[in-house]
């Protein structure tokens, strides 16, 4: 996309501007070199910078979208627990079922992964200290 724009618009425009300036200079005119946008960005380094800028923008947009989705998940009750209630090792499997019922995309988010790992470790080790190191 960027390369097509460079090949079809920017480089021909810059070449035409520079040729016009050289022709006027060869004719003996005193000229002030024009620095149009096309002349300034005609080189390969600037093209690479635009390509990298578009890639970085796409990556940042993807990360922002994923972050917004994770933030929305924070407002949902993932575990059906009363505040202050105790979790026994035997209850851990039952509590992990709603987390396992999430879509694969939602299961890949940080909070569901951390909760599921902690509940599974608590169920298997029956030791809360082992859960904190999960």
| Domain-ending residue, one of 75, 90, 123 | 75
Domain hosting residue 92, numbered range: 77-134
Share of the chain above pLDDT 90, in %: 41
Number of domains in the chain: 2
Indicate if 122 and 109 belong to the same structural domain: yes
Indicate if 95 and 54 belong to the same structural domain: no
Indicate if 71 and 84 belong to the same structural domain: no
Indicate if 96 and 116 belong to the same structural domain: yes
Indicate if 5 and 60 belong to the same structural domain: yes
Q: What is the pLDDT of residues 23-45, one digit of tens each?
A: 988 888 887 888 899 999 999 99
Indicate if 24 and 52 belong to the same structural domain: yes
The CA-CA-CA angle for residues 125, 130, 132, to 5°, reads 140
Indicate if 27 and 60 belong to the same structural domain: yes
* Predicted pLDDT at 98: 87
Share of the chain above pLDDT 70, in %: 97
Q: Greater confidence, 50 or 87?
A: 50
Indicate if 4 and 60 belong to the same structural domain: yes
Indicate if 5 and 71 belong to the same structural domain: yes
Q: Other CB atoms closer than 10 Å to residue 106's CB: what's the count?
A: 17
Distances (CA, A) of 76 to 8, 9, 49, 102, 123: 51, 50, 41, 12, 24
pLDDT band (50, 70, 90) for residue 134 = low
| Domain-ending residue, one of 75, 92, 124 | 75
| Domain-ending residue, one of 58, 75, 92 | 75
């Amino acid at each position: 996309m960027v390369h097509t724009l460079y090949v079809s618009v920017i480089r021909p425009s810059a070449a035409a501007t520079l040729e016009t300036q050289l022709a006027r200079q060869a004719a003996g005119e005193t000229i002030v070199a024009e620095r149009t946008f096309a002349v300034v960005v005609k080189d390969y380094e600037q093209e690479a910078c635009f390509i990298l800028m578009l890639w970085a923008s796409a990556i940042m947009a993807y990360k922002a979208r994923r972050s917004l989705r994770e933030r929305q998940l924070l407002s949902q009750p993932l575990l059906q627990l009363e505040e202050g209630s105790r979790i026994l090792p035997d209850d851990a499997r039952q509590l992990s079922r709603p987390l396992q019922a999430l879509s694969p995309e939602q299961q890949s988010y940080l909070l569901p992964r951390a909760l599921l790992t902690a509940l599974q470790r608590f169920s298997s080790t029956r030791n809360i200290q082992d859960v904190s190191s999960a």
